[in-house]
Amino acid sequence: MQELQGSSRFDRRAVKVDEAARLVLGAAMPGRRESVPLGQAAGRRLAEQASASCDWPPFARSGLDGYAVRSADTAQATPQSPAVLRVVGAVAAGELARAAVVPGTAMRIMTGGAVPEGADAVVMLEQTADTLENGQPVVRVKRAAGPGQNIAQPGEEFRRGSPLFEAGTLLRPGHLALLATFGYADVAVYARPRVAVLATGAELLPVAAPLAPGTIRDSNSVMVAAMAEQSGAAALPLGRLADDRDAVTDALEAALAQADIVVTTGGVSVGDYDIMAAIMRGWAPDRLAEASVNSSLAEDRLLFNKVAMRPGSPTSAAVVKGKLVIALSGNPGACFVGFEWFVRPAILRMQGAAIETALPEAVTAVLDAAYEKGSPHERFVRTRLYVEQGVLHADPLAFGKSSMMASIPDADGLIRIPSGSSGLPAGSLVEVLLLQG
Ligand SMILES: Nc1nc2c(c(=O)[nH]1)N[C@H]1C(S)=C(S)[C@@H](COP(=O)(O)OP(=O)(O)OC[C@H]3O[C@@H](n4cnc5c(N)ncnc54)[C@H](O)[C@@H]3O)O[C@H]1N2
Ligand code: MOO
Ligand SMILES: [Mg+2]
């Protein structure tokens, strides 16, 4: 048996969850960059500002299938007395007109076609009639066209050189459309942070193993790895380790050599085999009080080893060799909440997200059922969210204990129950942290 000497295992100062998250974010700097083909850039984050490489639209463009005209020529047009204009040609999208539109003439034009010189309006086909006069094609325009009508002016949407998206922007399909428009065949994005995942606990079996008495299958590894991937990271699942301090220390060394963030689960409380707590304490515990959001990655230090939150109070974090080590609690519920507060924000920050957007997003909802339990620490209660008559409701889920998993897959959010309270009555307005879909 490995003894953790002395009473220091109980000597832990709880930091508030927001402060703990900021300590982690202060140590998680935007990281490596790489260039990827545009078609692979969805879900990645821009590493540098993108800007418009030309005016958009780049030329005066017809918004309809119709006739390009001089609006002045149609000023008196009515259905009874249409303007009669000689048709001097046609222009399809992708073509350039071979003639200008001079007074008394019109040019047939298709949607997306470049408006010919001289024309300042497009009349839709439905408002025109084609005929022949003296063997020449003419078009009758039955209504006055306003100047600029149905024409997208060059630069009306974007000016050449104007900023499109800032570094850190999460690229969604619409962003890709604009990047394509402006010729970004390759895009500079932040590299996916590499997140090593290591589960500690002698009781843990691989997923494929049959259960033996006293053992359970490792469910945290796969959950944490999936959450990391969902946040834009590349997960490196490193498997399970028994509660052996030397073996875990060696595994951490190896993980630090290949990852940007090392996430462990289990072994952070006060038990005899909670070796992660001892290992974390070993990282310059005397610096704990000095740790601040401005600390650099230069020196190894413990960021915190207790958080004023339930679940997840023993969650710990340290900076080691310039990398973040986040030791999540083994209880699956605590592991899940600890990831949302510390690991996901760190992953987002390393991909250039601003600190405020890296933190969990909060909304306000009406609490459907009373939450009776008071707590010296803030609580995060798994909840379903739904909208009724335009109002967001939080319906707390059963089986929400830290050790329980049943409600994790159903949770849309985490209700934030303030500390020190004796709970909250039904109907209270509560803050809810949104979870990823
Ligand atoms: N005397 C005290 N005991 C406990 C305290 C305390 O303050 N005083 N804190 C409790 C709280 S709160 C939590 S949370 C847990 C934290 O436990 P650890 O982080 O040390 O985790 P373990 O002891 O290794 O395991 C706890 C629990 O979770 C199961 N587990 C662990 N790893 C996995 C995994 N990969 N997949 C699924 N389940 C896992 C493990 O079997 C245990 O049942 O401590 C309380 N105790
Ligand atoms: O703080 Mo422990 O995480 O659930 O019960
Ligand atoms: Mg334990």
For ligand 1, atom 2, the nearest C-alpha belongs to 270
Distance CA(101)–CA(135), nearest Å, equals 20
Distance of CA 286 from the midpoint of ligand 2 (Å): 25
344 and 227 in contact (C-beta within 8 Å)? yes
Q: Is the CB of 329 under 6 A from ligand 1?
A: yes
Q: Which CATH number fits domain 7-32+191-358: 3.10.129.10, 3.30.9.10, 3.40.50.1000, 3.40.980.10?
A: 3.40.980.10
Contact 199, 240 (CB under 8 A): yes
The alpha carbon of 329 and the centre of ligand 3 are apart by a number of angstroms equal to 8
Query: How far is the centre of ligand 2, averaged over its atoms, from the C-alpha of 193 (Å)?
Result: 27
- 61-152: CATH, from 3.30.1960.10, 1.10.760.10, 2.170.190.11, 3.40.50.11540: 2.170.190.11
Cβ(246)–Cβ(278) below 8 Å: no
Sequence ranges of the chain with CATH classification 2.40.340.10: 362-434
Does the predicted interface ipTM exceed a cut of 0.95? yes
Query: What is the largest distance, in Å, between two alpha-carbon atoms of the chain?
Result: 109
- Asked if residue 312 has its Cβ within 6 Å of ligand 2, the reply is yes
Work out which ligand 1 atom sits closest to the CA atom of 329: 19
Per-residue confidence in pLDDT tens, the chain, 437 aa: 344 444 467 789 999 999 999 999 999 998 899 999 999 999 999 999 999 999 999 999 999 999 999 999 999 999 999 999 999 999 999 999 999 999 999 999 999 999 999 999 999 999 999 999 999 999 999 999 999 999 999 999 999 999 999 999 999 999 999 999 999 999 999 999 999 999 999 999 999 999 999 999 999 999 999 999 999 999 999 999 999 999 999 999 999 999 999 999 999 999 999 999 999 988 754 544 454 444 555 678 999 999 999 999 999 999 999 999 999 999 999 999 999 999 999 999 999 999 999 999 999 999 999 998 888 999 999 999 999 999 999 999 999 999 999 999 999 999 999 998 688 999 999 999 999 87
pTM across the whole model: 0.91
* Distance (Å) from CA 400 to ligand 3 centroid: 19
